[in-house]
Amino acid sequence: MGIAKFLADKITGTRYEDLPPEAIYWCKVAVMDTVGVTLAGSREPAPNVLREVLMPSSGPSLIFGTNQRVPCLDAAHINGTAAHTLDFDNTAAHFAGHISAVMVPALLAAGDAFNSSGRDLLLAHAVGYEAGCRIGRGVNVDLYHSEKGWHPTSTLGIFAVAAACAKLLGLNAAQTETALAIATSLAAGIKANFGTMTKPLHVGECARGGLMAVLLARKGFTANSDAFEHKQGFFKLFNGEGHSHPDRVVESWGAPFDVVSPGASYKQYPCCYSTHAAIEAALTLTREHGVFDAKSIAKIETWTPAFGLSYTNRPDPLSDLDAKFSVQYCAVKALLTGQVVLEDFESSAYRDSVVQSVLPRVRSEIYTGKMFDPADPFDAELKLTLTDGRTLNAKVDRPLGRTSEIPIPYERLQAKFANCAARVLPADAVARSSQIIDLMDKNSSVRELSRALEAALAQAGERRIA
């Protein structure tokens, strides 16, 4: 049995009743988290430039942060870009990328257009998450795919989106198989564009492409069902000979569901996840000793795994986006202020004179200590040398929220949602949106959520963009 057919059978065969309560909980958390960061991201340049270029016509699906409704593919495209533009969205270990940001915008856009229920959306998210992680298990065995330069969020995310949207729209097994095969030709995204607007565009393209593959398959479009294993197919083209393990794709579907264990990784800090362990190490020191005055710092040394340091070793960030990928900048902000927040990556905060005075004192090198898991390289160590001669050390094996076993408390996730959503919505609409998402497994619908967001913006005087 081919990969596409195996996944299609599992996707169509999984029922809402098959999901354990933990899966439903974590899917709701994923929706809440993604809606929050999408609303906050909707005010950023990338999705708005994209909207100007697309000039979408009117349609049934809401562009977050506005009261404009457009065709569902355009909504998925723009909202997907907004969901990742702040780099504040969740990731999945077996997927090696940002997973809900690719799925949730596409699911909400399709759900808006086809009037899907909240339960349908949660099931679709769980199934898409599982399918994406299955393929991730087969591709990311030795991190070759990512280290070669592919951005797994988009190259693998296209399959998570296709699986999720196929489930949401009720495609049969044959149609779902075709949608996955179509998606192999739409996979794209290179890591060379990290730190620019093109990185979140990867997510927007992925959300649009996965949904488009489903809409095409639904109408009888054709594709090669052997597109994964073919000698010129996805595995060999994207991973090279000997670096893929298709047998791992077909192992243990839903036993347990990946959204439950190991679960998604949620961010407390709005920057690249590969900086988070270093941030937490710095914050450990501030909790123990208080925030540090720049004049008291003689030297800062950080060690992070080569995988992450390859794109976070940016000692002199040149833009707000660049700063999100600078482990040096993030560590300095944490030590000087005792926090790392959205405002640290806005309005050229990286140019702050005090921060700039400390950055030359930071040295970042490859961490060679024993990692918790070679396939999950997010350890960090930080050593702070003070001008009085003292040295302070902290080490973090995995940041809080890395897996469901070390979760960020729900109240902190709610606070994150409120902080993000409040950038766009009035306080009562923030609370109402959170409530609708919390009831998605009972009686909420996708349209109920989008109408609440639309009404709040209309009430606040948001101008409709033609």
pLDDT tens, position by position, 89-133: 999 988 889 999 999 999 999 999 999 999 999 999 999 999 999
Please report the pLDDT score of residue 383 as a whole number. 98
Of the candidates 251, 218, 97, the residue with the CA atom closest to the CA atom of residue 160: 97
Q: Measuring CA to CA, how many Å separate 56 from each of 45, 105, 113, 179, 414? A: 17, 16, 15, 24, 32
**Kind of pairing between the strands at 69-70 and 362-366:** unpaired
- For the segment 70-84, the average pLDDT, to the nearest whole number, is 98
Lowest mean pLDDT of 120-134, 169-183, 250-264, 372-386, name the range. Answer: 372-386
Reported as a pLDDT band with limits 50, 70 and 90, residue 143 is confident
Please report the pLDDT score of residue 370 as a whole number. 59
Side chain identity at 15, as an amino acid letter? R
Please report the pLDDT score of residue 137 as a whole number. 92
Average per-residue pLDDT for the chain = 93
Report the b/e string of 23-62 with b at 16+ CB within 10 A.
Answer: bbbbbbbbbbbbbbbbbbbbebebbbebbeebebeebbbb
- For the segment 200-218, the average pLDDT, to the nearest whole number, is 98
Lowest mean pLDDT of 246-250, 331-335, 429-433, name the range. Answer: 246-250
Please report the pLDDT score of residue 240 as a whole number. 85
Lowest mean pLDDT of 42-51, 110-119, 243-252, 383-392, name the range. Answer: 243-252
Reported as a pLDDT band with limits 50, 70 and 90, residue 465 is very low
Please report the pLDDT score of residue 60 as a whole number. 98
Please report the pLDDT score of residue 198 as a whole number. 97
Q: Tell the CATH superfamily of the 273-396 domain.
A: 2-methylcitrate dehydratase PrpD (3.30.1330.120)
Reported as a pLDDT band with limits 50, 70 and 90, residue 242 is confident
Please report the pLDDT score of residue 459 as a whole number. 72
Lowest mean pLDDT of 8-12, 29-33, 186-190, 461-465, name the range. Answer: 461-465
- For the segment 270-276, the average pLDDT, to the nearest whole number, is 89
Please report the pLDDT score of residue 466 as a whole number. 35
Residue 329 contacts residue 267 (beta carbons within 8 Å): no
Please report the pLDDT score of residue 443 as a whole number. 82
Residue with tokens 């569902």: 72
Q: Tell the CATH superfamily of the 3-265 domain.
A: 2-methylcitrate dehydratase PrpD (1.10.4100.10)
For the packed helices 21-41 and 118-139, what is the interaxial angle rounded to 10 degrees? 90
- For the segment 197-215, the average pLDDT, to the nearest whole number, is 98
pLDDT tens profile 418-447: 989 999 999 999 999 999 999 999 988 999
Reported as a pLDDT band with limits 50, 70 and 90, residue 463 is very low
Locate the domains of the chain by residue range. 3-265, 273-396
- DSSP states of 42-83: TTSHHHHHHHHHH-----SEEPTTSS-EE-HHHHHHHHHHHH
* Alpha helices for 240-398 (secondary structure H): 246-249, 276-289, 306-312, 320-324, 327-337, 353-358
pTM listed for this prediction:
0.86
Reported as a pLDDT band with limits 50, 70 and 90, residue 372 is very low
Q: Is the pLDDT of residue 71 over 50?
A: yes
> Can 3-265 and 273-396 be said to share one CATH topology?
no
Q: Is the pLDDT of residue 162 over 90?
A: yes
Share of the chain above pLDDT 70, in %: 97
Q: Is the pLDDT of residue 461 over 90?
A: no
Q: Is the pLDDT of residue 373 over 60?
A: no
Take residue 350 and report the two structure tokens written for it.
Answer: 């990286």
Take residue 131 and report the two structure tokens written for it.
Answer: 């399918």
Distance in angstroms (rounded) separating the CA atoms of residues 385 and 393:
9
Q: Between 305 and 297, where is the model more confident? A: 297
